Structure 1
Amino acid sequence: MKSTNQKEKTTITDEDMLYQLDGRPKFSIAFPLGLQHVLAMFAGNLAPMLIIATIAKASPHDTVVMIQAGMLISGLATFLQLYPIKIGRLQIGSGLPIVMGTSFAFVPTASAAALAGGIPAVLGGSLIGSLGEGIIGLFYKHLKRFFTPLVIGSTLIAIGINLLGVGRDYFAGGAGAKDYGSWQNLTIAFSTFLIVILLQRLGKGVVKTAALLFGLIIGYFIALAFGKVDLSAVGSASWATVPLPLHFMPTFNLKTAISFLIIYITVSMETIGNTSGITVAVFDREATEKETSGSVLADAIGCAVASLFGAMPNTAFGQNVGIVSMTKVINKWCISLGAIVLVVCGFLPKLGSVFASIPEPVLGGALISVFAMIMINGVKMLAQAGFNGRNTMVLGITFALGIGLAGHADAIAGLPTWLRFIFEDSIAATTLVGIIANLIFPDSKKVTAAAN
């Protein structure tokens, strides 16, 4: 009887642990839950690097190096969030079940850098920008007033608009492709697009959360039937290698660094939002200052290390926050098993070469709706802030100068050099104009509350 009671107690404890941060449930229970997180973010984690590698005209080998590094650093950065490093009062990592992955927010800025200076220019800008995010993490308490929902919402809309242009080109077969807009490319892209939408709408469980991954796999086979897949690099790739730093030697440019630095502001706010998203959904409270600053610092360090290893910058993945919010499973051991899968994948170049062979129309079909959602998330944030007279005026100024004027070289040719420098990047301009407009026209309610 004693043995039976102990067995029942063990079984109950394993189940209960799923809804607690600490403890180690059975592998058979924990691993599927961790793998679910990997499936939900795997494709989204790799896609930005595939896009930038294509724009930079990287070799198949260099593309695989980026993919391996991206998987490895995502896993390591996730571990840092789960199990923080504490140095005195300083905490690096949130101690929460946050899954890290490559951020789409950097794609427009990284695309411009890749066209100008290849992958080394992208990594140099990312490395410098990560220092700025580190400062935000260290001094979050004093800086958060600059990053209002209007600023972040406007920036997300600008990012979404830029990304939709990228998605359109991929949908049609890739910018500059000889068969751009051909019926074959459009058939592949539309088929992939519809599969992803149907899986998201009608799927359940892992099929629904990993709809993007399954859509890419099915789209891949459709493209294979059309003869659009080049598998030559897969056969020549090694089965296992160790990712090493400085495969690409970063190059530094002031314009690129400033553009990246501004995008890091938005990504910091995204990480902050996702950190609070977990605590509100599971613990019914806002994230503490230590959890928030630690989360941003872990993000910054992950981005810096990613730059050294050849990967794009990362951030806390919103879809994984959604899984935690839906399932209430917050056990760090479960999430860490998923992180282990990512780390192991980082040592398998043959797997990376398979993803590198995904044709542009498949990527475009799978991702164009993701890019649209980034813009819609920005709209949601603006809606939460409200459209009173003051907010409408701030948004009008922000969009008029940040999106309407910025990014059009001929329209800003007569501006002073320092001002033209800022307005060459519409995302950077939107963020800066938004911050300045918010400071010039403060919210009267907040000013009154502060005075009282």
Structure 2
Amino acid sequence: MADNSIGTPEQLRDPDYTPPLAKAVPLGIQHVLAMFVSNVTPAIIVAGAAGFGFGSNSPDFPELLYLIQMSMLFAGIATLLQTVGAGPVGARLPIVQGTSFAFLPIMIPLVAGRGVDALAALFGGVIVGGLFHALIGTFIGRIRFALPPLVTGLVVTMIGLALVRVGIQYAAGGVPAIGTPEYGSLLNWSAALVVIGVTLALKFFTRGMLSVSAVLTGLIAGYLYALAVGILTTDAIAGSWNNAAAFALPQPFRYGIEFTIAAILGFCLMAFVSAIETVGDVSGIAKSGAGREATDREITGATYADGIGTAVAGLFGGFPNTSFSQNVGLIAMTGVMSRHVVTIGALFLIVCGLVPKVGGVIRTVPIEVLGGGVIVMFGMVVAAGISMLSDVNWNRRNMVIFAVSLSIGLGLQLEPDAVAHLPDSARVLMVSGLLPAAFLAIVLNLVLPKDLPAETTDEVAGGMSGRETWGKQPGGLPTGTPRH
């Protein structure tokens, strides 16, 4: 519930209102706490997939710190594009931007086991995909018909399903530890379970700041537990802190630039999904914070900011940015619609992004502890997708679309060798699972007729199983019964 001392109800619903600084600063930092873990986690996952060494003495250590640093810096810059705006760019609403999980199923196959050398092609895809994302802003309103809840819910669910394996691997000891005696040990799992337990306890049994920052607090608890049981040592913390600079500026084209078909197609196709998510977030903020519908200018401006923020980040080694849904919920909870509050949070993120020592501390979080947080976050992605699917009219047509798309997409994730004979670019796109599933769902939804014979459009209701319905003719007669 909103604190009336912050302002009048009319002021709190106004995006241009600035609360007193003593209130605005904590509210801005609260927004950062709500998204901080989710924002830096993709950088750590991509680095792990590429085969980076995580130790402070590893030659890859500076690169890992840099990726974390860029995640914070460009989340802040992209957020400023949304809150402050520049011409047609930006919704000028309290929208928090951050590194998108949605692109991980594309990024992981692109870098898998290839080290730093793989990053040139990845960031080439980020730049082109960001520019394409901005272009979507010019026609976003006209393509929404092709992306109903059946399609968007499937895609979001697939994103979560593609990533849950990562959470389990991290909780068991991390990808580098697979096959070693300590992988999957009770000690490793205990750290992850501490994070999960504390997160759930705070989320459901506390209110206010503790509830909003439950994942972050759970990670801190897991961090302290890892330190107590010896998973993490003070020497490792000191080494990371000492080996990180106090201040550093981003470097353009630090990893070079390379344009590959697989990366460009993957990022451009995922831009559609990210754009639709942003439309939903903008609509949610306008409805919950201001009690009105989002305007076309706000939706277009938000999509422009998404794409331009992503393209600029790619130039310096940052990952794709998108609006963060958890902050939409935070606005609904606080009742404070001020975009200037979020601007304060954006400035805090930028400061953190310019101080590599912050990244050094984040890097010391043990992979098992991070696994606990990732299990919760990725599970929530799946749950969000299922929630979107609850709006679908589950007739036989939609069931078939969902079934075929999910089976092929998830199947290719589980058995990537099934497309081993495809060219490398096509294979990378196919084994993500996400893009084949999304493509099939969109095409089938557009091509298959809406009006089908009665036996294929009966609602799934009244306890009738699929086999009973499929085995009946129009009018409810069993298959093979003569019709008169």
Task: Give TM-score scaled by structure 1 length.
Answer: 0.90
Counterpart in 2 of 1:295?
302
Higher gyration radius (CA) = 2
8 Å CA contact 1:23, 1:333 repeated in 2: yes
Partners of 1:282 and 1:392 lie apart in 2 by: 35
Q: CA deviation at 1:346?
A: 1.1
- 1:402–1:427 Cα contact (<8 Å) kept: yes
Alignment of 1:48-447 (within 5 A): 48-58=42-52, 59-86=60-87, 91-115=88-112, 116=114, 118-177=118-177, 178=180, 179-229=182-232, 230-231=236-237, 232-405=239-412, 408-413=415-420, 422-444=429-451
Q: Distance in 1 between matches of 2:145 and 2:414?
A: 27
Q: What SS does the aligned partner of 2:417 have?
A: coil
2:219–2:369: 8 Å Cα contact kept in structure 1? Answer: yes
Measured in 1, the distance between the counterparts of 2:424 and 2:318 equals: 32
**CA displacement, residues 136-166 of structure 1 (integer Å, 9 cap, x when unaligned):** 1121122222222111111111111111011
Q: Secondary structure at the match of 2:390?
A: helix
**What is the CA distance between 1:424 and its match in structure 2?**
3.0
2:322 partner SS: strand
Contact kept, 8 Å, 1:30 with 1:334, in 2: the verdict is yes
For residue 99 of structure 1, what is the amino acid of its counterpart?
A: V
CA separation of 1:219/1:119 partners in 2, compared to 1, >3 Å: closer, same or farther?
farther
Q: CA deviation at 1:256?
A: 2.3
d(CA) in 1 for partners of 2:309, 2:291: 28
5+ residue gaps, structure 2, are 53-59, 453-484
Deviations 1:168-207, CA, capped at 9 Å, x for gaps: 1111111131321122211111111111111111121111
For the 8 Å contact 1:240–1:349, the answer to whether it is kept is yes
- Give the CA deviation at 1:385: 1.8
The two structures have a TM-score, normalised by structure 2, of: 0.84
State the alpha-carbon separation in 2 of the partners of residues 425 and 78 from structure 1: 29
Larger % of helix: which? Answer: 1
Indicate whether 1:20 and 2:17 are aligned.
no
Structure 2 CA distance for partners of 1:189 and 1:421, relative to 1, 3 Å: closer
The separation in 2 between residues aligned to 1:148 and 1:191, in whole angstroms, is: 39
Deviation at 1:64, TM superposition (A): 1.3
Give the letter for the 1:105 counterpart. A
Read off the aligned partner of 1:337 and give its amino acid letter: I
Partners of 2:214 and 2:28 lie apart in 1 by: 17
- Name the % identity: 36
Q: Quick one: which amino acid aligns to residue 98 of structure 2?
A: G
Cα deviation code 1:19-39 (max 9, x no counterpart)? 321133321121111111011
Q: 1:442 to 1:248 in 2, by over 3 A?
A: farther
CA RMSD of aligned residues (A): 2.2
8 Å Cα contact 1:136/1:143 also seen in 2: no
How far did residue 408 of structure 1 move?
A: 2.6
Counterpart CA distance in 2 for 1:362 and 1:40 is 18
- Change in Cα spacing, 1:443 to 1:380, as seen in structure 2 (3 Å) is farther
